[in-house]
Amino acid sequence: MASSLAAILAMGFVLGLKHATDADHIAAVTTFVSEQKSLVRSCWIGAFWGAGHTFSLAVAGLAVILLKVSIPAWLGVRLEFAVAIMLVVLGARVLYKTWNQRLELHRHPHSHAPGANPHAHWHVHARGTQHEHTGWLHIGLRPLLVGMVHGAAGSGALMLLVLSTIHSGLQSLLYIAVFGVGSIAGMLVISALLALPMRWLGARVATSYRPVQISAGLFSCVFGMYLGAEIWGSL
């Protein structure tokens, strides 16, 4: 019994990791990571996306366990179509922001710690923007909501399919939790892998973020339109 439970939970973790690598998930997270120059913030984005995704899957899983309901196929298809639209919107947002950026070189005082003597140095960044040190809530709110939409879509049917084969309510709840941990861990790793080359380029070429952001926006738009066209054909 214990070995069977361990196998189920191990499978849930592995499937959670694999689920994070779906192309639509990567496209969505890339649009967020392309706007960050900090590796830590990029990892936070992946973690928040995974948390939102897990929350939606947990709600759906609890509905299957407690209420014995199934997710209608027509609802799953429409949620998938909503994901496709969202990918286009996210990509268009990145392209719009990048298009309106005009780089300028300026110099201003800067202090690295409270009470430390300020010093002036040069910066290159988009005109009209400011150096803001925003909190984790500001960074993670949009990825959290996007992750919730992805989790509610039909791509989470893989978890629910396996969940329907587990007859114990406690084992089902454990499976949801482990699957969620796997998806959070997988997306955190993916965010870090996406952010590392971006950070490497940004540290060497001040304008390197523009082509990276444009590529991320185009990828999200094109993949969203491709996914939407496929889903539309099945409606």
Report pLDDT digits (tens) over 203-226.
555 555 677 788 888 999 999 999
- The separation between the first and the last C-alpha atoms of the chain, rounded to the nearest angstrom, is 43
Domain assignment present for residue 123? The answer is yes
Domain assignment present for residue 190? The answer is yes
Higher pLDDT, 168 or 25: 25
Beta bridge partners of 109: 120
Number of domains into which the chain is organized: 1
Mean pLDDT of 174-188: 87
pTM of the model: 0.75
Domain assignment present for residue 186? The answer is yes
Domain assignment present for residue 68? The answer is yes
Domain assignment present for residue 111? The answer is no
- Range of 228's domain? 11-101+119-234
Domain assignment present for residue 113? The answer is no
Q: Check if the beta carbon of residue 35 is closer than 8 Å to that of residue 197.
A: no
Cβ partners under 8 Å of residue 61, min gap 6? 159, 160, 163, 172, 173, 175, 176
Element (H, E) at 10: helix 2-19
Domain assignment present for residue 56? The answer is yes
Domain assignment present for residue 82? The answer is yes
Across the chain, mean pLDDT equals: 77
